[in-house]
Amino acid sequence: MGKVIACVNEKGGVAKTTTIKNLSIGVAMKGYKVLVIDLDPSAGLTRSLDLLPPGVEGSICGVLRFCIECEDIPEGFGIVHNVEGIDAITSSRELHDYESKLAAAYRREDMLRRYISTIKDKYDFIFLDCPAGLGIFVDNALFAADDIIIPTEANFLDIEAMQNLFAKINMVRKQNGTGCKPAVSGIVFTSVRLSTRNNRLLMEKLRQDYKTANIFKAYIPLNSKIPESDLAKESIFAYEKNCTAALNYMNLVDEFLEMETEEVVTD
Ligand SMILES: Nc1ncnc2c1ncn2[C@@H]1O[C@H](COP(=O)(O)OP(=O)(O)OP(=O)(O)O)[C@@H](O)[C@H]1O
Ligand SMILES: [Mg+2]
């Protein structure tokens, strides 16, 4: 049964999409069966991997339309395959229209979870790329997710601002009756400038202050190869597998998988 991992942060531009793109492909490179779902109307993940959507209807919009209308979804509907080894459900800007459609729907936060439950056994991991903010798509992702990954830049204000997200996660845990799901897999520091003493000290202090929140040991340095890989519409591993960003994203993949494997053993 696949595990659902949502990548969430209320703040924009903190490398949510970059992290989902490289983590999901890195996990697929290790032999796992992976699906990514682009839940962002700006469709950054779809565009940065050149995932050709089979029209708006074949994107996440079509999936949500079936869900809202309580119709059965044909097997494999909307799933495209990427050359780097992952399956994906694409997004498109028409997803904006689904904010109000979802808001008016019965059990609106639960649409995505119910859909994912029909395909969960086909994958080892299903990764969800969320838009910034804490709107209806993020609600759906939190209700569907087993675990959450939170990318952030290493600064106090951003971490303090995560209180809204943690409050929301707690609310979802109460509403779904589990008290513990979704779990927070961890916070990952992105766009780190280790050459700056300030950034190094800050990361150390945040690790001390937020011991219980699980901050991944792996961190992602600021590296121009990342936007270049977006332009090339590839993962960082396909674009330049030996650059520092690729090596650090692979460290994240290893740490993530180690944690997931441990969980399976101790569960
Ligand atoms: N480690 C990095 N080094 C340099 N640039 C980076 C790094 N990580 C991400 N970027 C760049 O930062 C920009 C924002 O990244 P990304 O789109 O992943 O953020 P996001 O959190 O998904 O944003 P949004 O909230 O808009 O969805 C992109 O142009 C990306 O290429
Ligand atoms: Mg994004």
Q: How many Cα atoms within 13 Å fall on the side-chain side of residue 25? A: 22
pLDDT at residue 54, as a whole number: 67
User: Any residues with CB less than 8 A from the CB of 81 and at least 6 apart, and which?
Assistant: 87, 88
- % of the chain at pLDDT higher than 90: 81
Domain residue extents for the chain: 3-266
Residues 219-245 have pLDDT tens digits of: 999 999 999 999 999 999 999 999 999
Mean pLDDT of 99-124: 94
Ligand 1 neighbours, Cβ below 6 Å, are: 12-18, 40, 44, 131-132, 190-191, 220, 222-223, 226-227, 230, 245
> Residue 55: is its pLDDT beyond 90?
no
**For 154-166, what is each residue's pLDDT tens digit?**
887 887 778 899 9
| Residue from 10, 17, 38 to probe ligand 1 pocket by mutation (most atoms less than 8 Å from CB) | 17
Q: Which residue has the higher pLDDT, 210 or 235?
A: 235
Residue 10 has pLDDT above 90, yes or no: yes
CB 141 within 8 A of CB 112: yes
- For the chain, the maximum distance between any two Cα atoms, rounded to a whole number of angstroms, is 56
| Strand order, beta sheet including 87-89 | 79-81, 87-89, 34-38, 125-129, 3-7, 147-153, 183-190
Q: For domain 3-266, which architecture applies? A: 3-Layer(aba) Sandwich (3.40)
265 has pLDDT over 60: no
Q: Which amino acid residue places its CA nearest to atom 27 of ligand 1?
A: 131
Give the DSSP per-residue string, the chain: -PEEEEE--SSSSSSHHHHHHHHHHHHHHTT--EEEEE--TT-HHHHHTT---STGGGSHHHHHHHHHTTPPPPTTTTEEE-TTS-EEE---GGGGHHHHHHHTSTTGGGHHHHHHTTTGGG-SEEEEEPPSSSSHHHHHHHHH-SEEEEEEES-HHHHHTTHHHHHHHHHHHHHTT-SS-SEEEEEEEESB-TTSHHHHHHHHHHHHHTGGG-B-S---B--THHHHHHHHTS-HHHHHTTSHHHHHHHHHHHHHHHHHHHHHHH-
Is the predicted pLDDT of residue 40 greater than 70, yes or no?
A: yes
Atom of ligand 1 nearest to the CA of 192: 1
Looking at the chain, the whole-number percentage of residues with pLDDT higher than 70 is 97
pLDDT at 199 over 90: no
Question: Using one digit for the tens of pLDDT, what is the confidence trace for 167-197?
Answer: 999 999 999 999 999 999 999 999 998 888 8
Does the pLDDT at position 72 exceed 70? yes
Ligand positioned closest to the Cα atom of 12: 1
**pTM to 2 decimals?**
0.95
Q: Which ligand is nearest to the CA of 236?
A: 1
Please provide the average confidence, as pLDDT, over all residues in the chain: 92
Counting every residue, how long is the chain?
267
> What's the pLDDT at 267?
41
Atom from ligand 1 closest to the CA of residue 11: 25
